[in-house]
C-alpha cells in the first residue's frame, strides 16, 4: 500500500551526524612475472596474468582507431590494453597493461581519437553534449541520459564507470556555470536553441522561456554549484506554474528506485512489488523524515527518524516502531536502551568513566558507550560481547559511518556512510563493502543507484 506512513511514534528523535570510512580496496597479490599477450591469429590473442594463467573470460572491446586493443576481463572486471598489437606479426607477444580495475557493467573507454559507451557490457551510440570535459549522453534504446564524468580529461587512454542521471521529464536537464554566470539546458543529449531562449529570475529559481513562453524552471539555480546536472521542472504555458501531481513522479515505483509524491510528503527509495522495500527516505512536510530500511511498506530494520526540530529516534525498527536497541533525543533529553513497541523498557546508563581513551563513557561490553582510540577515531553506540554492534563510527579524517556491524566489526546490514569530501552511500552492506541495494553520490552529486556486489555497482536501477 502507498498510504501515508503514520507518525504517531515519531515525536522523539536524535540530532546525530552519521558517518564512517569504507575500507581501502584489497591490493593485488604478489606476481611472479609480467602480464602478457600473444598474437595467435590474424586477429586473435591469448592473455595471461602475472602467474602465466590464461585469462579465459575476456571480451574484446571496440577498437578506438589505434594499433592498441582493449580487453575486458569479465571475471575481475579489469580492462587491459594490448599496446601495438594490431600490426604485430602472428606469434608476436608483448606486455599487457592494466587500464582500469573494478569497472562496472556501465562504463566508457576513451583515448584522444575516439570513445565507446557500454551499457551492461554492450556498446551503444547516442547523442551527447560536452560540458566542461564531461559528456551528458542520451541513448534512445533506453530512453535514459547518462553522465560520462571527465571523459575528455584524459590525455591518453582512460576508462570509468558511468551513471544514469536521475529521471527528468523528457530527459531534460540543466546546469549552472557559476564562474561565467551562465546556464545550460540539455534535452535528450542536445542543447536547446539558445537563440530563442530568454530567462527571468524568480526568487532563487531561474525561469527559461522559449520563444517568450515559460517552459522550464531551474530550482535553486542561484545557489547551485557549477556543473551539477539536475532535472528541470516543466511549466504549463497557460499558468506559468510548475506542474505537480501525486503518484510516482520519477523512476520505478514498482520494482526499482522511484519517488512517490503524497499529499503532505514523499518517499524516495527502493520498491518491491509496489511497496516501499529496502533503503529509502520518507519525508513528512513540516514534520521530519525517516531514512533507513523498509519492508513491505513498513519501517523495519535499522533507521533514523530526524524531526525538523532536531528531535530524533534512531535504532532497530519493527512494524514502524523502535523494537530492540535504540536511542531517542527530545530537546536536551537523551534516552538509550531497549525499546518495545516504541516504549523504553530497559534504560542503559551513560556515565563518564575515568579514562581519556578506550571506553571513556558508558558500558562498552553489552550496552551503550563511547570508545575512543589513540589515533583520534571514536565510536558511540551499542556494543555486544565487547564488540561494536550498532552506532556511529567517526574517523579522525572526518569520514563517518552510522549503522549496523557484524561480529568482525565490519559494516554489515543497513548503514549510511558520509565521506568528508561530500560523497555519500546509504543502503545495504556485507563484510565492509557495498553489497545489495544502495544509493551513492559523489562530491558532485552524481548518483549511482542499484544493486551492488563486493563494492561494485552491477545493476543500475
Boundaries of every domain in the chain: 1-25+251-461, 36-126+146-161, 169-231
69-73, 235-239, 339-343, 440-444: least confident range: 235-239
38-42, 141-145, 300-304, 395-399: least confident range: 395-399
Percent of the chain residues past pLDDT 70, beyond the cut: 91
Query: Is residue 226 predicted with pLDDT exceeding 50?
Result: yes
Query: For the residues of 280-325, what is the DSSP string, one character each?
Result: EEEEETTTEEEEEEEETTEEEEEEEEEETTS-EEEEEEETTEEEEE
Q: Which H, E and C letters describe 382-416, residue by residue?
A: EEECCEEEEEEEECCCCCEEEEEECCCCCEEEEEE
pLDDT per position as a tens digit, 168-181: 889 999 999 999 99
Query: Is residue 6 predicted with pLDDT exceeding 80?
Result: no
pLDDT per position as a tens digit, 64-106: 999 999 999 998 899 999 999 999 999 999 999 999 988 888 9
Q: How large is the C-alpha radius of gyration of the chain?
A: 25
- The answer to whether 15 touches 402, Cβ cutoff 8 Å, is no
Average pLDDT, integer, range 44-55: 92
Q: Across all residues in the chain, what is the average pLDDT?
A: 87
pLDDT per position as a tens digit, 342-380: 999 999 999 888 888 899 999 999 999 999 998 889 999
Which residues are bridge partners to 208 per DSSP?
A: 199, 216
pLDDT per position as a tens digit, 374-391: 888 999 999 999 999 999
pLDDT of residue 236: 54
pLDDT of residue 20: 33
Query: Is residue 15 predicted with pLDDT exceeding 50?
Result: no
Write down the pTM of the prediction.
0.52
Q: Residue 245 — very low, low, confident or very high, per pLDDT cuts 50/70/90?
A: low
pLDDT of residue 311: 87
pLDDT of residue 309: 82
Three-state DSSP at 49 gives: coil
Amino acid at each position: 500500500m502507498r498510504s501515508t506512513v503514520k507518525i504517531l511514534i515519531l515525536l522523539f528523535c536524535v540530532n546525530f551526524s552519521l558517518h564512517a570510512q569504507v575500507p581501502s580496496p584489497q591490493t593485488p597479490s604478489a606476481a611472479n612475472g609480467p602480464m602478457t599477450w600473444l598474437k595467435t591469429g590474424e586477429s586473435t590473442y591469448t592473455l595471461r596474468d602475472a602467474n602465466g594463467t590464461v585469462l579465459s573470460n575476456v571480451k574484446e572491446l571496440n577498437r578506438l582507431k589505434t594499433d592498441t586493443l582493449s580487453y575486458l576481463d569479465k571475471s575481475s572486471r579489469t580492462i587491459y590494453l594490448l599496446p601495438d598489437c594490431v600490426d604485430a606479426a602472428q606469434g608476436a607477444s608483448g606486455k599487457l597493461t592494466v587500464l582500469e580495475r573494478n569497472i562496472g557493467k556501465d562504463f566508457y573507454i576513451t583515448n584522444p581519437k575516439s570513445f565507446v559507451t557500454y551499457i551492461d557490457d554492450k556498446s551503444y551510440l547516442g547523442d551527447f553534449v560536452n560540458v566542461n570535459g564531461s559528456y551528458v549522453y542520451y541513448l534512445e534504446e533506453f530512453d535514459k541520459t547518462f553522465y560520462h564524468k571527465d571523459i575528455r580529461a584524459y590525455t591518453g587512454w582512460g576508462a570509468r564507470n558511468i551513471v544514469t542521471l536521475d529521471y527528468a521529464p523528457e530527459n531534460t536537464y540543466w546546469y549552472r556555470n557559476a564562474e561565467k554566470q551562465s546556464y545550460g539546458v540539455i534535452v535528450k543529449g542536445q542543447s536547446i536553441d539558445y537563440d530563442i531562449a530568454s530567462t527571468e529570475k524568480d526568487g532563487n529559481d531561474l525561469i527559461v522561456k522559449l520563444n517568450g513562453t515559460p517552459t522550464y524552471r531551474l530550482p535553486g539555480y542561484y545557489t547551485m554549484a557549477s556543473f551539477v546536472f539536475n532535472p528541470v521542472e516543466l511549466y504549463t504555458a497557460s499558468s506559468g506554474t510548475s506542474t505537480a501531481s501525486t503518484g510516482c513522479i520519477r523512476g520505478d515505483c514498482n520494482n526499482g528506485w522511484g519517488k512517490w509524491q503524497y499529499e503532505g510528503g514523499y518517499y524516495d527509495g527502493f520498491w518491491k512489488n509496489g511497496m516501499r522495500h529496502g533503503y529509502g527516505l520518507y519525508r513528512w512536510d513540516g514534520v521530519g523524515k525517516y531514512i533507513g530500511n523498509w519492508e513491505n511498506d513498513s519501517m523495519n530494520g535499522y533507521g533514523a527518524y530526524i524531526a525538523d526540530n532536531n528531535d530524533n529516534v534512531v535504532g532497530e525498527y519493527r512494524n514502524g516502531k523502535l523494537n530492540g536497541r535504540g536511542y531517542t533525543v527530545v530537546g536536551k533529553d537523551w534516552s538509550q536502551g531497549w525499546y518495545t513497541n516504541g516504549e523504553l523498557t530497559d534504560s542503559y546508563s551513560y556515565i563518564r568513566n575515568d579514562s581519556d581513551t578506550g571506553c571513556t563513557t558508558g558500558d562498552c561490553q553489552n550496552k551503550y558507550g563511547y570508545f575512543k582510540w589513540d589515533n583520534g577515531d571514536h565510536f558511540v553506540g551499542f556494543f555486544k560481547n565487547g564488540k561494536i554492534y550498532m552506532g556511529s563510527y567517526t574517523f579522525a579524517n572526518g569520514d563517518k559511518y552510522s549503522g549496523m556491524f557484524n561480529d568482525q566489526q565490519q559494516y554489515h546490514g543497513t548503514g549510511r556512510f558520509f565521506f568528508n569530501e561530500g560523497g555519500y552511500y546509504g543502503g545495504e552492506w556485507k563484510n565492509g563493502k557495498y553489497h545489495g541495494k544502495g544509493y551513492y553520490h559523489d562530491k558532485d552529486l552524481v548518483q549511482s543507484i542499484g544493486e551492488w556486489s563486493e563494492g561494485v555497482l552491477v545493476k543500475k536501477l
